[in-house]
Amino acid sequence: MSDHHVYKKVEVVGSSKKSIEDAIENAIAECSKNLRNIEWFEVQETRGHVVDGKVGHYQVVLKVGFRIENS
C-alpha cells in the first residue's frame, strides 16, 4: 500500500422524477458501474424541469471523486 493517494474528479448529472436525493443516488449508482474507488461527491448545481406548473424532474450536477488505483 502506498503512503500517498492520487485522486481524479469527474462531472456527472443525475436526474430523477422523485427527489434531489434520488437524483444524487442515481448518479452515484451509475458511476459505480464504471468507476472504482469512488470516495466522495460534491453537489455543484441543482436544477429542475417544470411541466404544467409542477416539477417534472430534478437534475443535480455532481463532481464525483475517486482514488486512482495503486496510488
Task: Tell me which H or E stretch contains 55.
Answer: strand 54-67
CA distance 9 to 46: 18
pLDDT category, 64, cuts 50, 70, 90? very high
pLDDT category, 1, cuts 50, 70, 90? very low
Model confidence pLDDT, tens digit, residues 10-54: 999 999 999 999 999 999 999 999 999 999 999 999 999 999 999
- Residue position matching grid coordinates 411541466: 51
The pTM (predicted TM-score) of the whole model is 0.86
Strand partners, 40: 65
Task: Tell me: pLDDT of 2 over 50.
Answer: yes
